[in-house]
Amino acid sequence: MIRLATRGSALALAQARLVAGALSQECEIVPITTSGDRGRGDDKARFVKELEEALLAGEADLAVHSAKDVPARLPEGLAIVGVPERADARDALCGASSLAELPEGAVVGTSSLRRRAQLLALRSDLEVRDLRGNVDTRLRKLADGGYDALVLATAGLDRLDRGDVGTPFAPDELVPAPGQGCLALEGRSGDEPAAEAAGSLTDRDTLICLTAERALVAALDASCRTPVGAHAALRDGRLAMSVFVGLPDGSAWVRDVLEGDPHEPGSLGREIAERVQAAGGAELLERAVAL
């Protein structure tokens, strides 16, 4: 029996069920309420901290995370031991077929500083309002007329069978969050049975891309309070990576694209991070955190 710790939201439970269904062993899903679910904390770890505590206490064998929620540095004694095949990494616009279709001054909802920064960089006339809650809550607020459109992760919509309500952006138009669309299975270092089970689900190409994106996050010391987008993809035997760093109001940003060796994904992530920092990204991140 493998105990899978997960947040208790509809999306998190759907993701845990996907993992449980793919594992060859019998699984028990262990829902846990995190600080982020209670609206506490403002760092990335708020959505994983209690799950990691359950792992360290021996109350669960694996934790199922949305990879974009997992900080670059893990607590001592824990490791990412499985990375299943990536779902669609793109953001999706709900309520309109494109940004160009929205009228001047349209109200767009999102809780993400990364999405806010990129939306305003593309359309400075938009009114981007904070929007929180689970996917169904957000879509209901859209249907009630409180927003003209909103932006959600395509992967989350698909996993909840709501993919028909959104139109995906191209990844180079709205650069996704690092790890978006990926699941990360975290376990205790040295727990070989759990690591072997999780490792059996790992998709090599997804692991390569996620490694590059997480290396960039670590190099930039990025968090949920820093508007950073990063998306890596394998193309013709090369690893290509797009990055966006900007201010939340969309007034300044840096974009970069770089290709590298797929056998050295961490090196690519660190190299493009250095390029972005040298081009002004370091100053932008400092200003973004201070806002």
From 61, 69, 148, 191, active-site residue = 69
Give the helix ranges, DSSP H, for 93-134: 113-122
The two tokens of residue 40 are 């506490």
Residue 237: exposure state from Cβ atoms within 10 A (0-12, 13-18, ≥19)? exposed
End-to-end Cα separation, the chain, in angstroms:
47
The pLDDT of residue 241: 98
Cα distances (angstroms) measured from residue 227 to each of 42, 96, 113: 14, 24, 5
**Closest to 152 in 3D by CA, of 205, 70, 94:** 94
Question: Could you read off the pLDDT tens digit of each residue along the chain, which spans 291 residues?
Answer: 999 999 999 999 999 999 999 998 999 999 998 877 776 555 667 889 999 999 999 999 999 999 999 999 999 999 999 999 999 999 999 999 999 999 999 999 998 999 999 999 999 999 999 998 889 999 999 999 999 999 999 999 999 999 889 999 999 999 999 999 999 999 999 999 999 999 999 999 999 999 999 999 999 998 877 899 999 999 999 999 999 999 999 999 999 999 999 999 999 999 999 999 999 999 999 998 877
The pLDDT of residue 83: 98
Sorted by where each starts, the structural domains of the chain and their CATH numbers stand as 2-84+182-202 (3.40.190.10), 91-168 (3.40.190.10), 215-290 (3.30.160.40)
The two tokens of residue 198 are 């999780």
For this structure, is 42 an active site residue? no
Pairwise CA distance, residues 24 & 12, whole Å = 20
- Give the three-state DSSP class for 238: strand
Contact indicator for 238, 260 with CB cutoff of 8 Å? yes
Q: What are the two backbone dihedrals, phi and then psi, of residue 63, each rounded to the nearest 5 degrees?
A: -115, 135
Query: 149-153 and 127-129 as β-strands: parallel, antiparallel, unpaired?
Result: unpaired
Pairwise CA distance, residues 63 & 6, whole Å = 6
Look up the pTM and report it.
0.94
